[in-house]
Amino acid sequence: MNATAAASPVQRPLFQTIDMLTASQQRAIRAIAPHDQAQVPAIEARRPVSMFTSDAFFQLEQERLFRRQAVPITISARIAEPGSSVAHDGYGVPLLVTRDKDGAAHVFLNACTHKGAKLLDGCEVAKGNRLTCPYHAWTFGTDGKLIGAARPETFVNLDKGARGLAELPSREAGGIIWAMLDRHAEPDFSGVDEQLAADFAAFELPDLHVYGHKQFHLNANWKLVLEPFLEGYHVQRLHARTVGPLFADVPNVVDTLGLNIRQISGKMQFTPDCLDIPGENIHASVTHAYNVFPNCVIVTSPYYISVMFLMPTAPDKTTVDYFMLTRRPPDNPKGAELYRKSYEMIIGVFGGEDFYAAEISHAGLRTGAIDEVVYSGLEATIPLYYDILDGVLEK
């Protein structure tokens, strides 16, 4: 865990009210039916097991999606201050994510231009406008320019201007940084959506405090890790002993924002009337769950936001970067205790229940016991997601 208590000059309110959200979010929230009037459709939807287990499908996803379209890399808040850098290895490609002294975010290949050494290792955020290679001490700016080489007089024709770090096309919007993993591919940022960025800006995602970060290495296909965040069917069952009783067994209000999906649902105590109580914490009665296409999940809770990047490294291996973001650093013992308990709880629920479910599901699918997975009306967002995925893979 990387819990920090750095002081923030911003004392934003501890929670949000409905009026702080976008018109589109408010419209979706007001479309939530009272639980006793919610209609769960019956559906027939199936998907072949091979899309989770086969090498061929994994290769297809890598070629047509992960290497051809910009993918979410990390949160802006991870490198909040100008002059910040962090290594990022989740996709199996060593990356270096920086914010330069002018505040622009960059994503580089994490390879020194002398002899390829990784400039940074581990998961700590480095502060400062310069990065010095541990091998022979070449120094780079956070903008990727080569600033200096040790003993420069011993090189003939060393063109410093041509030896900057290899940069990947990237974009930052709504507190998320996207990049093309293949820098030679035609840049495609079709997953970055204005409405999505506006929703996240309404959550103040770019400026939230990174309370905790944990990395998980899972033995499951990345889409099996994603699926529980696209459906409510499992919530009262898998999470029966933890958070299940907080959630109602009803469908979400679902919208697509470009390739991304927004799901909004009322918690157990939700009634349409509670939206009109002045000063109410909107995240106490309503849950937002987003899929940032294809593999990032954002879930709201009353006092924090969870952001997860599900990064495939093999058909049956996924690295998850989990971040818990709070609206402020803990600044009093009661707040600190609330955040500590929330972090422990959410790591237990996501790690010990959702990720566990993905692993046991993958283990069972690999046996060949079934050829197809079937989805219910309470899982209807999963086939919707796969229709979007198919559209991209078929391009």
Closest CB to ligand FES among residues 152, 348: 152
Stretch that binds ligand FES, among 134-142, 294-302, 306-314, 337-345 (CB under 6 A): 134-142
**10 neighbors 276 (Cβ within 8 angstroms):** no
As measured in angstroms, the least distance from the Cβ of 114 to ligand FES is 3
CB count in 10 Å sphere of residue 8: 15
How many residues appear in the chain? 395
Q: Given phi > 0 = left and psi -120 to 50 = alpha, else beta, which region is 92?
A: left
Which residues in the 221-240 window bind ligand FES by CB under 6 A?
Answer: none
**Binding of residue 158 to ligand FES (CB under 6 A):** no
Please state, as a whole number, how many other Cβ atoms lie within 10 Å of the Cβ of residue 276: 9
**Site stretch for Fe ion (CB under 5 A), options 25-33, 126-134, 291-299, 349-357:** 349-357
Q: Is 171 in the site for ligand FES (CB under 6 A)?
A: no
Helix, strand, coil shares of the chain as percentages rounded to 5?
Answer: 30, 25, 40
Residue 196 tokens read as 């999505």
Q: Residue 115, interface with ligand FES (CB under 6 A)?
A: yes
Strand order across the beta sheet in which 176-179 lies: 71-75, 176-179, 170-173
Q: Which does 133 bind (CB under 5 to 8 A by kind): ligand FES, Fe ion, none?
A: ligand FES
Q: Which residue number, 138 or 178, has a Cβ lying nearer to ligand FES? A: 138
Of 39-47, 109-117, 184-192, 366-374, which segment contacts ligand FES by CB under 6 A?
A: 109-117
Contact 205, 77 (CB under 8 A): yes
Q: Is 232 in the site for Fe ion (CB under 5 A)?
A: no
108 near ligand FES (CB under 6 A): no
Position 117 contacts ligand FES (CB under 6 A): yes
CA-atom Rg of the chain in angstroms: 22
Q: How far is the CB of 234 from Fe ion (least distance, A)?
A: 6
Q: Which does 117 bind (CB under 5 to 8 A by kind): Fe ion, ligand FES, none?
A: ligand FES
Q: Per CB under 6 A, does 293 bind ligand FES? A: no
The angle that helices 23-30 and 194-202 make with each other, rounded to 10 degrees, is: 80
